[in-house]
Amino acid sequence: MCACEMRIAYLVNQYPKVSHTFIRREIQALEALGVEVVRYSVRRVEEPLKDPADLAEQERTKVVLDGGPQGLAAAIAKQSAKRPAAFARASTLAAKVGYGSERGLAIHGAYLGEACVLLDWMEQDGIEHVHAHFGTNSTTVAMLVEALGGPGYSFHVHGPEEFDKPDAISLGLKIERARFVCGISSFCRSQLYRRVSYDHWGKIHIVRCGVETSFLEGDGRPFPTAPRLVSVGRLNEQKGQILLVEALGQLAKDGVDFHLVLVGDGEMREAIEAAIRRHGIEDRITITGWASGDRVREEILSAQAMVLPSFAEGLPVVIMEALGLERPVLSTYVAGIPELVGPDNGWLIPAGSVEAIAEGVRELLDTPPQRLEEMGKRGRAAVLERHDVRVTGAALNELLHRYVS
């Protein structure tokens, strides 16, 4: 069987989400190569979708929990009667994984029900393989589908969540049972190596996140000369935006000129807004709230650089997008970020340090626009080499052909 005849499923806990457009791009890249992809989501996305491409994906996605508890119960009854031995093995596996988890046995019983629903759908849809994104509950469900007698699975690990609690999510077991596993960076792959014996290392591969073509092409505007910065991401503890505000408050007192646009929303917005008011820099920082891909692109192009002072990451897609649009990046020595950001295209600073952020931003703002533009061009070259979605899609397609065909 050739790759063009392959029919696979993508399984994500919530799809399509605003922050998961890289999954949509990956699916579309595979489809362009002839792979037929059926979209499954465990639950519906809670946040409102505005991007027409996300809305189109939502229409194409089957949602497991739309059937409610009755749907899970009916699926369990059907599969337990149809394949009692496999159901017993899958139940034992669900109990084994659930026993040491944060979610407990009852939730893993629900995961077994979700797997029963999906197995029925996959048989109807002629699915040969399941690819899950994130090594958490979506991969648990994919593993249980396989245990029930369904198709084999692979999964993509991003971090940092999987590395914060590897034992609680049975990460090693999931790797052992998978056909293959993808990490989004060399750092990510190294953390996966730690969870299993050397015998399993050969099926752990790097498949990076891809950047949409629109983030690899500017619009012809000249490089900005105004000291405008942008930071894109959910407003939460992990992203460190509140420390960025503290650092900019110090720079404002020193008479440094700047304007920052925070693109995103989240649980720390109120605290961040209070910090902005405390430093008296309301006129220097704008918070946009949730933004479409087009709005994110516009904000990046309007800035001289992207600043992302994260404490924990995998390798943020927004860094790839900024570099793809020829804007240098200031970020932290965290996880896979140093694999893409370096002295040629940006600045790396220690995580969690207001002083380091202030020093880095000061140096960035003191850098002549011509130099920043040159750094941005080198950043784009690095992204084209590693994160063009056509390249990453081809890499995943090759693995599917190797392990599934």
pLDDT at 247: 98
Cα separations in angstroms, 382 against 26, 209, 217, 314, 386: 19, 13, 14, 18, 6
pLDDT at 405: 75
Distance CA 90, CA 104 (A): 16
Query: In Å, how far from its chain's centre is CA 253?
Result: 37
Whole-prediction pTM: 0.89
State the fold for domain 216-386.
Answer: Rossmann fold (3.40.50)
Cα separations in angstroms, 276 against 46, 228, 239, 251, 331: 29, 17, 16, 13, 21
Within this chain, domains 3-210+388-403 and 216-386 share the same CATH topology: yes
pLDDT at 52: 87
Distance CA 78, CA 76 (A): 5
Distance CA 323, CA 305 (A): 9
Please, what is the average pLDDT of the chain?
Answer: 95
Count of other CB atoms within 10 angstroms of residue 315 = 26
Q: Do 405 and 2 contact (CB within 8 A), yes or no?
A: yes
Q: What string of pLDDT tens digits covers the 405 residues of the chain?
A: 344 479 999 999 999 987 788 999 999 999 999 999 999 999 999 888 878 888 999 999 999 999 999 999 999 999 999 999 999 999 999 999 999 888 889 999 999 999 999 999 999 999 999 999 999 999 999 999 999 999 999 999 999 999 999 999 999 999 999 999 999 999 999 999 999 999 999 999 999 998 888 888 878 889 999 999 999 999 999 999 999 999 999 999 999 999 999 999 999 999 999 999 999 999 999 999 988 888 999 999 999 999 999 999 989 999 999 999 999 999 999 999 999 999 999 999 999 999 999 999 999 999 999 999 999 999 999 999 999 888 999 999 999 999 997
- Name the CA dihedral angle for 186, 38, 49, 137, rounded to a multiple of 10 degrees: -50
State the fold for domain 3-210+388-403.
Answer: Rossmann fold (3.40.50)
pLDDT at 218: 78
Q: What residue ranges do the domains of the chain occupy? A: 3-210+388-403, 216-386
